Structure 1
Amino acid sequence: MNYLDEFKKFISSHYLSTGVRLTLGAIVPSLIFQHYGVLSEMIAFPLGTLLIGGTDNPGPYHRRRNSLLIAIATCFVVACITGFLRHIHFIVFIEIIVFGMFFSLVGVYGNRVNSIGLICLLVFVFNIDDHLSGNMVLRTAAIFSAGGIWYFVLFMVLQKLLPYKLIQQLLGENFVQLGKLLSIKADYYFANPDYDELFNRMIHQQVILRENHENLREILFKTREFVTESTNKSRILMLMFLDSIDLFERILNSQQNYANLHRAFDHTKVLRLFGTYITWLAAEIQQIGLAIQSGFSSHPRHDLDEAFNKCQSAFERMREYKMNHDNMEDFIMLRQILNSLQDVTERVKKLHRATTYDAEVSEGFTLNVEAENFVPKQEYHPRILLDNISLKSSHFRHAVRVTLGLLVGYIASLFFELGHGYWILLTIAVILKPAFSITKQRNVHRIGGTFLGVITGFLFLYLIHDNTVLFILMMVTMILAYSFLKTNYFIASTSITLYVILSFNFLNPQHVTAVLQDRIVDTVIGSAIAYVISSFVLPVWEHSQINQYMKEALNANRRYFDIVAAKFTGKQLNINDLKMLRKDAIIAMANLSDNFQKMLSEPKRQQMNMEEYHQFVATSHMLTSYIASLSTYAQTLEYSEFSVEFEIMIRQIDRQLQAATDIIEGKVGNSMEISRESLPQNQKLVELLAKRKKEIKELGIEKADQSPARKMLSDLKTINGLFELISTITIDEIKILQKIKAVSIQH
């Protein structure tokens, strides 16, 4: 995507909407207070707006509403307790332990509750000294809560005025990311692809899409208007989301043996032509995403029918002149790619029409899946919290690290003469995350952003003396800070530092130099404490969790394979179950990929068996892709006369998947013998293939194409090939796991 499209995407994204909403929510009342000369006494009001607004994560309306109300009430209580008892250092230590443990541990209930916990910790930190409230604790807590209530009112009004806006923004973002995934696929078709680099980009993109899908599922399937009281717009939005999931599967199942493709067709122009067309399709999907985000209808940038016909004509010409009985199987593989491109083309054309929100597009559409099965489940039983009070729990270990970090930071603020000592605790609370890799990254971004923000802020104040210009700059940096807070922490950290410095310049211009110095010193101290704590206090290294993710990926793939493969033994296919198991397999694959990516940021001494783990992630990705390809045929074809041959193959693959799971679980089995067994040959297909080759040899391509067996053979050869690939990949996984186990025993 070009820079103009990236800019359009940012302008219409929910990230910028959040930044603008929070900034205006804080600035408008501040200007009113400034007009009446009471801003310094009411400073807790905009602070309450910003902090309470920080808990407003994307999700269903009722969950966002409830979380805001809970945040307002909880923060009020925390502010009162902290404010009244802050002069008794002994009590403050107890508060740090209680609040630090509790508000970090509530992360077991998911991201929404985790956000409330973090904001409560920040409120606690802000109220530890008397810079905010002085002796008027209750009044300041009430003003802070009033700021939160103001944000709540703003949220309710915007929700009534623009009920579909957030969904459109998230759905548009989903299509943009989907287009990026397809553009990575396109690179496989050009000369000399870097397979490792492309694979790493693909798994990173799938992790992004996984998170996006989870948010969209929760909103769409938990919102009554989309499930029961559907309007034309809600039906079309639901239709587009379901189409995006099917499109994602189609992109996923277009996995090929690209090395063989290049070996067979690199000397021709057909792969480059296919690659160019896939790039065009990727651009179209991103264009659709931008249109959905902005609320306008999209129009094709290219004539897709003409471009597809060029690909088809190139294939037909080459097939006519170059296909023979020896390379027939290569052309079958190319034909399947062409069929996949035709399917994606039709879906893209349909999606372009859907962005017009024409009633004809959704005519006859009914939700044919059970919504409850597709919504991320989250229980809020107290038992879950109690069960996690154990050193075996990564959430508990994180809570201990946060609590200890806050204690050390508080002691540092007491013993050193620091003008804004609470900034140390703010830095620690914000930087420390459950995963070391994220803590490390945020540490670097926090320090780098703070230094850049201080330098830029100093230059602004030195070069610009017009308060109007400085005020506009402060607003822009606030918008950037809250727009990039969840996507680019370096930009967010830089912008936060800038707007803090500029706001201090308006409130207390005589002490701006001291603020600049304090900001750097406090951030460095807080970052240093966070790094040491995350490295040495009950760290949870990713390699200690990867076995669980590998097992989940294997089991999810096995369940997905079993329901798809059952169709080839003559059983009926339940589409609802298929989609649910497909979702589980994709999520498990993305979780495994995410875990591996985090391992890459950890200290070298903790990166054990990295080559083998990388191979397992790659094979898991291919396994899910091949099963997804098989599911396409399971939904459209039925060759029951081959059911006996397929059943033998399915049983063998199931034994292989079970053997791989046994190795992870440490069970003694016969995995060595199973990995040596070859998949039984499909004798009927071998005979059919031999007959087809004979026809081509004796009759030539043109006459042999009139044979009724041509289409059936093409399908069966592909289906059989997918079973063989799934078997080969599973055996590879057994061997990889055996290597990991052997290395673990040696250590």
Structure 2
Amino acid sequence: MSSFREFLQFLKSTDFSKAVLVGLTVSTPILLGLYFDQLEVGLAICFGALWSAPSNASGSFRHKRIAILSATVLVVVISFIGGYLDLSAYILIPILGVLSFSLAYISVFGFRATLVSFSGLLALILSFAHDPLLLNTYEYALFVGVGSLWYFLAVVAWHYLNPKGEIEEIFTETYLLTSKFLKVRGQLVEPDSDRKKLLSELNKLQEQLIEKHEILREMLVLNRKKSSHSVYRGKKLLVLAQLVEMLETAISNPVNYSRMDMVFNKHAHYKEGFQELIYKISEQLEKIAYSARSKKGLSFHIKLQPYLDKISADINELKSAPKKENLSPYLMFQNLYEYQEKQVELLNKINWILNEAKTEELRFIDEDYVRKFIAAQDYHPRNLISNFNLKSSSFRHALRLAVTAMVGYGIGTIFDFQKPYWILLTIIIILRPSYGLTKTRSKDRIIGTLIGATIAFVIVSLFQNIYVFAALGLVSLVMAFSMLQRNYKTAATFVTLSVIFIYGIMLPDIMEVIQFRILDTVLGAVLSFAATLVLWPSWSFLNINTNLRSCLVANRNFLDEIAAFYNQKEKEPTTLRISRKKAFHETSNLSVAFQEMVQEPKSKQKKVNEVYELVTLSHAFLSSLASLSSYIQNHCTTEASDGFKSAVAHIEENLRRAIDVLAHVETKDDFSLKHQKQSFESNRSKFNTITWDFENAVKVGEERNLQEAHLILGQLRWLFSLSGKILNLALKIETEISNKS
């Protein structure tokens, strides 16, 4: 049932609907071309539609339109230029290098620009397949433009026919990822679990969720206009706010697992209650994911409130026996209870918004407020100039791609390959800026091509019918596009099948097509992989300092905002929340950079253990900051003491020095960690005036203040310890990388 449900979700997915759209817009002009005996015209229109398709990425519909139209202009211009490249190899190859570099270099403007760049590269490579004797170059370029506009109109029409489809799908994915994130946190409670593995998985899920949140913000806010769907989008924005809060609430409740194991060892029955509730929350999120499009309401309060009541009753048992040894368990359990109570509250609110809330009962989020959380892409031409050097990864990638394309086409020409542009096609698809992704794609591409060629060989041996080939070619093309983002190896298999069957319609010797397809793909993959090793490689250890520094700066700014808000409770928390989002984003970027680093050759993994530890410390530091931020925003707290301000100053000093070290800036050596620690501990008594014991606190009803003192003092000490470790690791990493880079 689970597999069948996943299959149904796949058929409903945006990936599949986009692939069907590509199949229709590509096949229709070919069929019309055959019917009217104008196959060359049909192929040109087909190519235009095919080359514009990569620009149709998830996100704001406005951005999609701009990207597809930009790709349209680019492919028309490149197709026109490509039509006049029937030159000798000595002239053609350098021109190919310049054009490839120029098109690849567009990627300096970000993700969507990279997709437009890819469309241009496709148009350049496949212009070699055009025969000007059948269709004049200007006519070919014109019909390519018609094909791109045809695809654009199909995308617009589909959007207005199904305006909610992509939003709903990404929400479904976000529900499921959030559910899995909470479930992994529940598994971490088990003392015999593989916590290193689970924490690594948790970090990856966090990165994916942050990405989904970014896409949904863009789709809901930048598309939000005065239309019939404004109420729908307003509701979805409210749901997104709850999902973001669920993630950040989870992250803001870090757990000291060794201490937790000791406490649960003495109070074993508590563990079951907390773990069972978090699994139930996870289960309900999964149910929302699969029923979000239905009108059926789901009642979560009835199911989850008894679990909260049971936990609360157990905690009250400790409160009724206020012994000294019960203080630590009580405070830990009380914090865990409040965390899960908050998650249930957010879950109930999601259910209310989706199923019960009336429009007049909702307080929609102000659009201008949400726009502050959306990072705008800088498209200023100065980016072209500032990145025009070997320090820029975009410049290096463009240069690497251009040289590899020249070498590939040169080999194909010298050894008289049947279709040397197939080598180029493999290169532009496989060659990525990072070593790890290029290596994976090269392997998957070769394996997928071999599998696809084998399947095609069997089918061709059994059938010799062009209508069968046409049907299989179309189905393979749709499956290839639908699997590109899910499983590249499978996508490569279907790409090979579609190419072989399409050529099988036009060429009599399909077996020869299969042979050359394998040879060209293997050669292109080998050249791509070799290029990442020898042509201006962008090893992650060379850029890891930048990622580390950005992460530390974001965390320091977040700490500044927390301190400012603690000192001025009446302050608007917008800047605090924006700094929190920035800190999450930069920590996620650091994790991605580290994952790229560990995929590279062992010889290029400089101080990988120290970097891993620093990534782990950064996540822990952010969790602790988020915990402080969440507590002071959601509780009535006492005034910030001089000890609090002093502790924050010490922590910020450690971060500042670590940032300076990574930026190669001289720092004052007399401010030693030992001196800091002594100063920090001497101010411990000033951190909070609440110093009475558990029993007295319960008697006078001030256990809330005791909880505040315990949490804030504990987080400050933890943050100081983490910041000192971060500084020491920054010194080690910088020394190693400076010596070997």
Same fold by TM (over 0.5)?
yes
CA contact (8 A) 2:315 2:333 kept: no
Q: Could you tell me whether the CA contact under 8 Å between 1:554 and 1:657 is conserved in 2?
A: yes
The 8 Å contact of residues 323 and 694 in structure 2, kept in 1 or not, is answered as no
Q: Name the CA distance, whole Å, in 2 between partners of 1:225 and 1:518.
A: 52
Moved more, 117-126 or 323-332: 323-332
**Structure 1 partner of 2:598:** 600
Unaligned runs of 5+ in 2: none
- Alpha-carbon separation, structure 2, partners of 1:368 and 1:76: 37
Does 2:386 correspond to 1:395? no
**Among candidates 643, 646, 655, match of residue 644 of structure 2:** 646
Q: How does 1:666-705 map to 2 (within 5 A)?
A: 666=664, 667-670=666-669, 673-674=672-673, 677-678=676-677, 679-680=680-681, 681-683=683-685, 688-693=690-695, 695=696, 705=698
Q: 1:656–1:675: 8 Å Cα contact kept in structure 2?
A: no
* Offset, 1:746: 6.2
Tell me the equivalent position of 1:145. Answer: 145
CA apart distance, 1:500: 1.7
Match of 2:181 in 1: 181
SS of residue paired to 1:545: helix
Asked if the contact 1:44/1:143 (under 8 Å) is kept, the reply is yes
Distance of aligned partners of 1:56 and 1:342 in 2 relative to their CA distance in 1, 3 Å threshold: same
**Deviation readout 1:416-459 (Å, 9 max, x if unpaired):** 23222211000111111111111111111111111111112223
User: Structure 1 residues 472, 349: CA separation in 2 closer, same or farther (over 3 Å shift)?
Assistant: farther
The one-character-per-residue Cα deviations of 1:151-190 (angstroms, maximum 9, x if unpaired) are 1111121222333333332233222222222222121112
RMSD: 2.8
Q: 1:370 to 1:41 in 2, by over 3 A?
A: closer
Moved more, 722-731 or 11-20: 11-20
Contact 1:394 1:540 in 2 (8 A): yes
1:687–1:136 CA distance, 2 compared to 1 (3 A): closer
Q: Following TM superposition, by how much is the alpha carbon of 1:466 offset from its aligned partner in structure 2, in angstroms?
A: 7.5
Q: 1:687 to 1:118 in 2, by over 3 A?
A: closer
What amino acid is the match of 2:442? N
After TM superposition, the structure 1 stretch with the greater mean CA deviation from structure 2, 409-418 or 153-162, is 153-162
* One-letter amino acid matched to 1:483: S
Deviations 1:110-154 (A, max 9, x none): 111111111111111111244697553333322222211111111
Shift of 1:664: 1.5
The whole-number CA distance in structure 2 between the counterparts of 1:415 and 1:494 is: 29
Contact kept in structure 2, 1:568 and 1:643, CA below 8 Å: no
Deviation of 1:566 after TM superposition, in Å, equals 2.3
| Residue 713 (structure 1) aligns with | 706
Per the alignment, residue 64 of structure 1 pairs with 64
Identity of aligned residues (%): 25
2:704 maps to a residue whose letter is K
The aligned amino acid for 1:522 is D
Match of 1:562 in 2: 560
- Tell me what 2:428 maps to: 429
Aligned partner of 2:548 among 541, 547, 550 = 550
Alignment CA distance shift 1:230-1:472 (3 Å): closer
Q: Say if 1:450 and 1:520, in contact at 8 Å, map to a contact too.
A: yes
Could you give the per-residue CA deviations for residues 478-514 of structure 1, whole angstroms, max 9, x where no partner exists? 2221122133211211111122222233333x22111
Q: Does 1:202 align with 2:202?
A: yes
Q: Deviation of residue 720 (structure 1)?
A: 1.9
2:223: which partner in 1?
Answer: 223
Mapped partners of 1:4, 1:184: distance in 2 = 24
Contact kept? 1:446, 1:489, Cα under 8 Å: yes
User: Is the 2:273–2:307 contact (alpha carbons within 8 Å) kept by the matching residues of 1?
Assistant: no
Q: How does 1:152-171 map to 2 (within 5 A)?
A: 152-171=152-171
d(CA) in 2 for partners of 1:676, 1:276? 46
Q: Distance in 2 between matches of 1:295 and 1:624?
A: 37
Q: What TM-score, normalized by structure 2, do the two folds share? A: 0.92
CA distance, structure 2, for counterparts of residue 574 and residue 675 of structure 1: 37
Is the CA contact 1:236–1:357 (under 8 Å) kept in the aligned structure 2? no
CA distance in 1, matches of 2:322, 2:192: 24
CA distance in 1: counterparts of 2:82 and 2:38, whole angstroms: 24
Relative distance call for 1:610 and 1:62 in structure 2 (3 A) is: same
Match of 1:284 in 2: 284
- CA positional deviation for 1:318: 6.2
1:306-705 equivalences under 5 Å are: 306=305, 308-309=307-308, 311-312=310-311, 315-316=314-315, 319=318, 324-356=323-355, 358-360=357-359, 363-367=362-366, 370-463=369-462, 473-508=472-507, 510-666=508-664, 667-670=666-669, 673-674=672-673, 677-678=676-677, 679-680=680-681, 681-683=683-685, 688-693=690-695, 695=696, 705=698
457-466 vs 51-60, which deviates more? 457-466
Equivalent position amino acid for 1:652 in 2: H
Structure 1, unaligned runs of 5 or more: 696-703
Distance 1:692 1:266, change over 3 A: closer
Partners of 2:282 and 2:66 in 1: CA distance? 39
The amino acid of 2:71's aligned partner reads A
TM normalised by structure 1 equals: 0.92
1:723 alignment partner in structure 2: 716
Residues 548-590 of structure 1 show CA distances to partners (whole Å, capped at 9, x for unaligned) of 1111110100111111122333454322111211111011001
Q: How much has 1:230 moved relative to structure 2?
A: 7.4
Q: Which sits farther off after the overlay, 160-169 or 345-354?
A: 160-169
Deviates more, 1:180-189 or 1:310-319: 310-319
> Does 2:144 match 1:136?
no
Maintained 8 Å contact 1:642/1:684: no
Q: Deviations over 1:656-715 (max 9, x none)?
A: 22122222223233387135533345436787454325x4xxxxxxxx745311122123
Q: Secondary structure at the residue paired with 1:573?
A: coil
